[in-house]
Amino acid sequence: MILTLTPNPSIDRTVSLDAPLCRGQVQRVTAVTAQAGGKGVNISRAAAVAGIPSVAVVPAEPDDPFVLELRAAGIQCHPVEPAGDVRVNLTITEPDGTTTKLNSPGAEVDAEHLEVMAAAVLERAAEASWAVLAGSLPAGAPAGFYADLVARLRGHGARVAVDTSEAPLKALVDAMPAAAPDLMKPNGEELASVLGGDPEVLESDPVAAAAAARELLARGVGAVLATLGGNGAVLVTPEGAWHASPPPTTVVSTVGAGDCSLFGYLLGDVSGLPAPDRLALAVAYGSAAASLPGTTIPASDQLQTDLVGVTALGGNT
């Protein structure tokens, strides 16, 4: 079972345009979709599509339409007391795949709300193969919330994966090795934000991204899956490092693609695949998601895993 925590969930509303976005202009909208989302929720949604058991911990009322939508999609949802209404995020997609995101902060939480969320994860962790802590933190949460929860999860059974950015990511790295998770999924910009370096170089150069990821392993992280946009992804573990190039992809929307990449890796892990195959599955999932509108989760028959090229990088044992 994959357990997910989304402390700052959102209703993801996607607006598709028939022309490039022009500020200050009136434009035609070709489609509008809305979906219960957030990074952890997207991973639980992908698990449901793949037939993998998952429990999504989210702050929302049990009868909130957000929770009801997840349950209707076959997702086992564990709602906990929220601080307020689920926020709404707006995504604007252009014909060439360019994506603009406008994310609202959400309701402000206090220590009691955060402890209720943490307790729900700790209570269920023993049943899970992985506990995934994902996304931004709500207003009022200390930047170290994830770092503290990673440390508290030690000894509870589940391995821990973290996918976050900005202040929570920095707090996590600063608290290592005590807060080092079993898996991190940064992108090139996020790697640069905590380790230094040029984000454009890390996004474009898999060898540079792997070198940066090794710094996180030296601080105690079990493995790093670094997603590099159109350049695929890099996986670094104690056994070695690999780069996977994506299959030919017509990008429609990149929203949720990184979440699907993380799920692909977790699916490969719980399926017993070796590291290069876990990476290939991650990139296949991310690429398939990017070829679909909004935050659509790809099905297995939409993956092109056989077209993902995996190359071992220097330093493999």
Instruction: Judge contact between 149 and 20, C-beta under 8 A.
Output: no
Choose the catalytic residue: 64, 205, 259, 269: 259
87-93 β-sheet, strand order: 29-37, 10-17, 87-93, 99-102
- For all residues of the chain together, what is the average pLDDT? 94
Confidence of residue 315 (pLDDT cuts 50, 70, 90): low
* Residue 261 burial class via C-beta count within 10 angstroms: exposed 0-12, middle 13-18, buried 19 and up: buried
Whole-prediction pTM value?
0.90
Q: How many residues does the structure list for the chain?
A: 317
Instruction: Judge contact between 207 and 196, C-beta under 8 A.
Output: no
Dump pLDDT digits (tens) for 146-169: 999 999 999 898 999 999 999 999
Dump pLDDT digits (tens) for 243-284: 999 999 888 878 889 999 999 999 999 999 999 999 999 999
110, pLDDT greater than 90: yes
Complete domains list, the chain, with CATH: 2-19+30-312 (3.40.1190.20)
Is 259 assigned a catalytic role?
yes
**The pLDDT value given to residue 64:** 94
* Phi, psi for residue 13 in degrees, rounded to 5: -105, 125
